[in-house]
Amino acid sequence: MKKIINQPENVLEEMVSGIIRANEEKLERLEDSYVIKQRNLNDQVSLVSGGGSGHEPSHAGFVGDGMLQAAVCGQVFTSPTTDEVLKAIQAVDTGKGVLLIIKNYSGDVMNFEMAMEMAEMEDIEVRKVIIDDDIALGEDESEQGKRGVAGTVLLHKILGAAARKGYSLDELAELGQVVVDNVNSLGVGLRGATVPEVGKPGFTLEEDEIEFGIGIHGEAGYKREKLQPSKEMASEMLGKLKEAFNWSDGDEFALLVNGMGGTPLMEQYIFFNDTLNHLEADGIQTPFRKVGDYMTSIEMQGVSLTLLKLQDDWLDLLNEDVDTIGW
């Protein structure tokens, strides 16, 4: 294992310290915690998200005006504790309530929901939105159902813009569920990621092998194949996404091509170009497009493809300015 770290057991502490010290004008750290908070809060409903570390810039990179008010950082690929989530809720409540954005993993859901219950006992109004955009596995193929992956970032953006516009807590929770119902993602992996304290990759692929449907913690996908050109990978993934959306000529989508952490931007843009060619040939409009590392898996090589079917004023909300380090 070759990584630019000190002791494996200290990576979270040292990463959080680095994030704060590099962005002191925007962010602050709650004392004795791994909660990263927006330094100056607006008078609005606050949004809190988080999860295991190793997915940077998710989620701390999306803390700031127009997106999240706090991110709770767990150990690498490990859910944050209930106490940490509760600290975040308490710190960002302005009296207008707190919305939790939770990726659909059993540990995340359990700990965030327990913190929600504890906060409500303190008379803090809390609602939740659980995102499960990964279509690699069906609802009945995984114990916890579909996984939450890169579509989470688009959810952060839409809800963050809406919260800043003055939406109520209930309005945000309702909007969040509609967004979740209209976003789907799928990934492909070329090489596994190594958790520092484990010291070896979570999975291995042959040099000429790829895996479709890989998860952001290295969870198994739905099939392994020989390495193929980018345009063929895009075709495979879009085929499953088309089936999930049942789209029609003229439908409008937000398009996110997300790097998994170890994929050069050159390759991400090639894959994006191929994806767009396929979509345009199908008559699909993509008025919002984004390429880059947004929901990574340490140094995993691969990409994910997220499509959000646009409606109402979502495009305007996606295009609102934000003041974060990751968007």
**pLDDT tens sequence across 70-126:** 999 999 999 999 999 999 999 999 999 999 999 999 999 999 999 999 999 999 999
Structural domain includes residue 21: yes
Same domain? For 154 and 73 the reply is yes
Q: pLDDT at residue 144 above 90?
A: no
> What is the C-alpha separation between 301 and 263, in angstroms, rounded?
5
Alpha helices in the chain (DSSP H): 11-22, 82-92, 106-121, 151-164, 169-180, 230-245, 265-281, 314-319
Same domain? For 77 and 115 the reply is yes
In DSSP notation, 16-52 reads: HHHHHHH-TTTEEE-TTS-EEEESS--SS-EEEEEEE
Structural domain includes residue 325: no
Same domain? For 157 and 229 the reply is no
Structural domain includes residue 315: no
Q: What is the pTM of this model?
A: 0.97
Structural domain includes residue 47: yes
Same domain? For 38 and 177 the reply is yes
Average pLDDT over every residue of 210-216: 97
> What is the C-alpha separation between 128 and 149, in angstroms, rounded?
17
Same domain? For 74 and 216 the reply is no
How many domains does the chain contain in total?
2
Same domain? For 162 and 70 the reply is yes
pLDDT for the residue 42: 97
Query: Is-contact 188 233, C-beta < 8 A?
Result: yes
Same domain? For 22 and 93 the reply is yes
Structural domain includes residue 271: yes
Q: Return the active site residues.
A: 55, 217
Same domain? For 58 and 109 the reply is yes
**Which of 181, 206, 226 is the C-terminal boundary of a domain?**
181
Spatial strand order in the sheet of 183-191? 223-226, 209-212, 183-191, 301-309, 252-259, 285-292
Average pLDDT over every residue of 265-283: 98
Structural domain includes residue 4: no
What is the span of the domain harbouring residue 60?
Answer: 12-181
pLDDT single digits (tens) 180-204 = 999 999 999 999 999 999 999 999 9
Same domain? For 289 and 223 the reply is yes
Angle at 177 between CA 174 and CA 182, to 5 degrees: 130
Rounded to the nearest 10 degrees, the angle between the axes of helix 82-92 and helix 106-121 is: 50
Structural domain includes residue 58: yes
Same domain? For 270 and 121 the reply is no
Same domain? For 153 and 240 the reply is no
At 46, give phi and psi (nearest 5°). Answer: -100, 145
pLDDT for the residue 137: 85
Percent residues over pLDDT 90 in the chain: 96
Q: pLDDT at residue 143 above 80?
A: no
Same domain? For 203 and 78 the reply is no
pLDDT single digits (tens) 4-59 = 999 999 999 999 999 999 999 999 999 999 999 999 999 999 999 999 999 999 99
The domain that holds 230 is classified in CATH as: 3.30.1180.20
Structural domain includes residue 231: yes
